[in-house]
Structure 1
Amino acid sequence: MSRRSSDLRLFLLAAFGLSWLVALPIWLTDVPLGSPLITLFGGVMMFTPALGVLAVRLYGRRREEPRTTRREWARRTGLTFGESRGGTFALMALAWLGTPLLVVVAIALSAALGLLAVDLDGLSLFRAALAAGPGGQPPGMDPATLAAVQLAAALLIAPLINSIAAFGEEWGWRGWLLPRLMPLGTSRALLVSGVIWGAWHAPLTLRGYNYPQLGAWAAPMFVVFCVAYGALLGWLRLRSGSIWPAVIGHGALNASGSIILLVGDAAHPPNLVVAGITGLVGSALLAVVAAALFRFRPVRRPDPVAV
């Protein structure tokens, strides 16, 4: 078995094996999807791809063969800011601000296509969620004000907070795995890495996570989204030579993806399979944006040397 093949096997074994280990309590105790424990276990799962990168690095220390220096290894796995620090910071800002814009565009497209009913005036879906929550509506705060506060936090604060856990995934998927797959060609590398990324979510998506109405079929549905969104994150990684724009973008999506639940209509709840950024409309939008970026802002292929 070649070094490349063995490293890939070790990375996938660590990332997938540890993710299932972390999620085991969810399956053993049948935790409901709305439980805070799902969020907790999901957050811990996000660090398992990074542990896969470290497993490959530590395994390499035990082999008697030339190894890259720590600095070069950090560069090849995207931990540095790439060749153009200014360009990387610009892409980080673009990911921070552009991601919620894509979320809003996906909501608008879903509504325009008749696939989503919105209630911008009454915020009925958000009000219903507050009423059904364990604490009910916070005293002395109008739902519209609370929605505005949550929206502001999703745009300004939450992306940075969510980027902590997003780093765990992005260092693995876009930092280590995507360059490793680039000998397949850019399109195939993006496709394969996106499928792997989507399949890695199976401990949650097989329970219906993100698409409760689908049950276990949520798993292949989420793979579709991961291929589309992974292509956009892949462009950020390859264009900058750094994982940090992708980390910020991933964190921003996790922060703003639930905006659809703020503006939805309680009388006609959103069908998340088709509507919103994680639905089919959103996946199509992300795929078109990613294709346009690769077409008009080409990327430089990374160093083919093993990372």
Structure 2
Amino acid sequence: MSTEHDRVDVRGAVSFVAIAYVPAWLLTLPLWLTGEGLSWAWAPFVLVLMMFMPAVAAFVVNKWISPQPKLLRSIGITNPGGIRKWWPYVLVAWLGPPLAAFIALLVGYLLRVYQADWTGFSGLLEQSGPTVVGSAPQTSPTTLALTQIGQMLLLGWLHVVPALGEELGWRGYLTRALLPLGQPGAFLTTGVLWGLWHAPVLILGYNYPTVPVVVSFIMMVCFCTLVGTLLSWLRLASGSVWPSAIAHGFLNAVAGLAMVFSKAGHPVDNASVGLLGWTGWIVLGLLILVLIMTGKLPVRIPVETVGISQGVNRRSRR
């Protein structure tokens, strides 16, 4: 496993990027060939399958290209100390994304780029359609909104499974592999590569359908770099990939939070609203700043050094 005092395993890193990119991009071909793009009935399945390609790349690299003696530990599935070391980060990973997403909406509202109906939930009713409103008049807007939020907080755990597919690659393998660049360099490089990995679906309008394609590339890279820094902090601080996978899963789960509090007649634009938008980047940037000011970033990583006697390890902190 790389540390900040080793050299980057160029062969392994380049192989990982190639394996993560090529199969994932090939999987999107049906979206193009059908001519239906993201509206194709099987598009959600394709996107989920695509999310597992970074995990495949991490396993292939660590098993055959740059073999690691402890494969599962090298990508963060297991770790020294086990679950006792990383379980305190689970609460942050679970509740942090919904809280950050809500604060991002407040920032967007204060900057007047997000039109909200905080108590009437008129935008949610509008999106729900006449079937829900007409056939179930007994369901109040508040109940409908609370149901949506409850599903995000509970059923969001289902999102952790495909999110783990990405995290095993980007944070489990690549961030650690690039640590010789320094933590800022590793976070930045991983964020850029992660963002550009979405290129085929960005061209089809994924996440940023209202802006030109080139702008969507730039915005996705910015978002992935900022949120990737926070996910990398979870990965390195906990010594495990599980907290970052949980956080990633709930980031995906709360993607529709802006719709819950939106105002009828004002469609949500991801380019400016929510964590994907520039107002959300303010929140992500402030969270990173808090970690820096409190001494949480850069992360102090325990380094295993071989002792005098064979098979004995000493731990030091750098």
TM range (shorter): 0.7 to 0.9
Q: Deviations over 1:9-63 (max 9, x none)?
A: 22111110011111111111222445553322111110000010122134248xx
Q: Percent identity?
A: 33
Q: CA deviation at 1:129?
A: 1.6
Is 1:181 the equivalent of 2:178?
A: yes
CA distance in 1, matches of 2:95, 2:139: 27
Deviates more, 1:116-125 or 1:77-86: 77-86
CA distance in 2, matches of 1:36, 1:142: 30
Equivalent residues of 2:272, 2:279 under 8 A apart: yes
1:19 to 1, 15, 24: 24
Deviates more, 1:261-270 or 1:235-244: 261-270
Equivalent residues of 1:179, 1:304 under 8 A apart: no
RMSD: 2.4
1:161 to 158, 161, 178: 158
CA distance in 1, matches of 2:178, 2:185: 8
CA distance in 2, matches of 1:174, 1:291: 20
Shift in alpha-carbon separation, 1:250–1:291, aligned structure 2, 3 A: same
Would you identify which runs of 4 or more consecutive aligned residues in structure 1 move more than 6 Å?
A: none
Alignment partner of 1:270: what SS?
Answer: coil
Equivalent residues of 2:68, 2:74 under 8 A apart: no
CA distance in 2, matches of 1:270, 1:121: 17
Q: TM-score, normalised by structure 1?
A: 0.88
Structure 1 gap ranges (5+):
62-66
**Aligned residue runs from structure 1 range 134-283, under 5 A:** 139-140=135-136, 142=139, 144=141, 145-158=143-156, 160-216=157-213, 217-283=215-281
Shift in alpha-carbon separation, 1:138–1:196, aligned structure 2, 3 A: farther
Deviates more, 1:35-44 or 1:229-238: 35-44
1:99 counterpart residue number: 97
Deviates more, 1:22-31 or 1:184-193: 22-31
Is 1:51 the equivalent of 2:48?
A: no
Shift in alpha-carbon separation, 1:304–1:18, aligned structure 2, 3 A: farther
Shift in alpha-carbon separation, 1:56–1:211, aligned structure 2, 3 A: same
Alignment partner of 1:258: what SS?
Answer: helix
Q: CA deviation at 1:136?
A: 5.8
Higher relative helix content: 1
Equivalent residues of 1:183, 1:304 under 8 A apart: no
Alignment partner of 1:157: what SS?
Answer: helix
Deviates more, 1:290-299 or 1:171-180: 290-299
Shift in alpha-carbon separation, 1:223–1:87, aligned structure 2, 3 A: same
Structure with higher Rg: it is 2
Q: Deviations over 1:205-235 (max 9, x none)?
A: 1212111111423222111100000000000
**Aligned residue runs from structure 1 range 282-293, under 5 A:** 282-293=280-291
Equivalent residues of 2:97, 2:250 under 8 A apart: yes
CA distance in 1, matches of 2:109, 2:151: 24
CA distance in 2, matches of 1:242, 1:189: 17
Structure 1 counterpart of 2:233, one-letter code: W
Report how many residues are paired: 294
CA distance in 2, matches of 1:137, 1:44: 35
Shift in alpha-carbon separation, 1:87–1:123, aligned structure 2, 3 A: same
CA distance in 2, matches of 1:115, 1:185: 36
Structure 1 counterpart of 2:150, one-letter code: A
Structure 2 counterpart of 1:42, one-letter code: L
CA distance in 1, matches of 2:53, 2:103: 32
Q: Deviations over 1:117-149 (max 9, x none)?
A: 1012332222222228xx765832626223321
CA distance in 2, matches of 1:30, 1:166: 27
2:316 counterpart residue number: none
Alignment partner of 2:178: what SS?
Answer: helix
Q: Deviations over 1:144-187 (max 9, x none)?
A: 223321210101222x1000000000000000000111100111
Q: TM-score, normalised by structure 2?
A: 0.85
Equivalent residues of 1:110, 1:281 under 8 A apart: yes
Structure 2 counterpart of 1:235, one-letter code: W
